[in-house]
Amino acid sequence: NAGVIQTPRHKVTGKGQEATLWCEPISGHSAVFWYRQTIVQGLEFLTYFRNQAPIDDSGMPKERFSAQMPNQSHSTLKIQSTQPQDSAVYLCASSLGTGSSAETLYFGSGTRLTVL
Amino acid sequence: GEKVEQHESTLSVREGDSAVINCTYTDTASSYFPWYKQEAGKSLHFVIDIRSNVDRKQSQRLIVLLDKKAKRFSLHITATQPEDSAIYFCAASANSGTYQRFGTGTKLQVVP
């Protein structure tokens, strides 16, 4: 099992450009989470899918961030009009998806986004 | 909003000594408390967890204690080894919640 796969590992964008981040969860896992990691804020929850359906996007900055899960094997996080404050490591995690948050998260290696 | 606070941002111990990392939480509905480890240049991986129906759990050199009254939980690493050096994150979630809320991380350095 390859674990959670995130691509690209690094992405550099200019201010105002769009960035799309990809995540492939562990096969058989039905829950996918996106978190953002910065030195200042630590790990911030962004959004969560279960069985491909969006369940909770309460952590998403509403105006420029969007996430989708078009099939069970991948999810995308899109940031429009990127700003320097969006610079962070974006982490995707998957879990079995029993419907409870009380289960182990398996994290990908992350995408380091740098907005110049 | 609900928070998980991790009290030590850095911790340095001598090899062979014990290390203790403390976290507190605010959501009284929290019932699941996992710990994750992030080694340099790598992503987080699960190390141990505890649920609210017990107050102590041990896995080899790792011990987790939970004090529900004080809304506090802690990770004890006994007989520390250099490979224990990493950033440790505590987290908490409620059964009815949808996601795990994380502390800000503790960088543990085990000095030979």
Query: Closest chain B residue to A95 measured between Cα atoms?
Result: B99
Q: Which two tokens mark B79? A: 């007989």
Q: Which two tokens mark B42? A: 């790598």
Q: Do A45 and B51 touch (CB under 8 A)?
A: no
pLDDT in tens, chain A (116 residues): 689 999 999 999 999 999 999 999 999 999 999 999 998 889 999 999 999 999 999 999 989 999 999 999 999 999 999 999 999 999 999 999 887 788 999 999 999 999 99
The partner residues of A98 in beta bridges, in order of sequence, read none
Q: Do B94 and A101 touch (CB under 8 A)?
A: yes
Find all residues with CB under 8 Å of A73, minimum gap 6, and list them: A24, A25, A27
To the nearest whole angstrom, how far is the Cα of B87 from the nearest Cα of chain A?
11
Task: Spell out where A1-116 has E strands.
Answer: 5-7, 10-13, 19-24, 31-38, 42-50, 53-56, 65-71, 74-79, 88-95, 106-107, 111-115
Cα–Cα distance measured from residue A85 to residue A64, given in angstroms and rounded to the nearest whole number: 12
Q: What's the sign of the alpha-carbon dihedral A39, B99, A20, A14? A: negative
- The vertex-B41 CA angle with B35 and B44, nearest 5°, equals 20
To the nearest whole angstrom, how far is the Cα of A41 from the nearest Cα of chain B?
7
| pLDDT value of position A31 | 94
Smallest CA-to-CA distance from B4 within B32, B39, B44, B42 is with B32
The partner residues of A112 in beta bridges, in order of sequence, read A10, A89
| pLDDT value of position B10 | 97
Residues B71, B2 contacting (CB under 8 angstroms): no
Find all residues with CB under 8 Å of B52, minimum gap 6, and list them: B30, B31, B32, B33, B66, B68
| pLDDT value of position A98 | 81
Rounded-to-10 torsion of CA A9, A62, A17, A91: 0
Q: What is the pLDDT of residues B8-56, one digit of tens each?
A: 999 999 999 999 999 999 999 999 999 999 999 898 999 999 999 999 9
The partner residues of B92 in beta bridges, in order of sequence, read B101
Query: Closest chain A residue to B30 measured between Cα atoms?
Result: A102
Q: Which two tokens mark A84? A: 């320097």
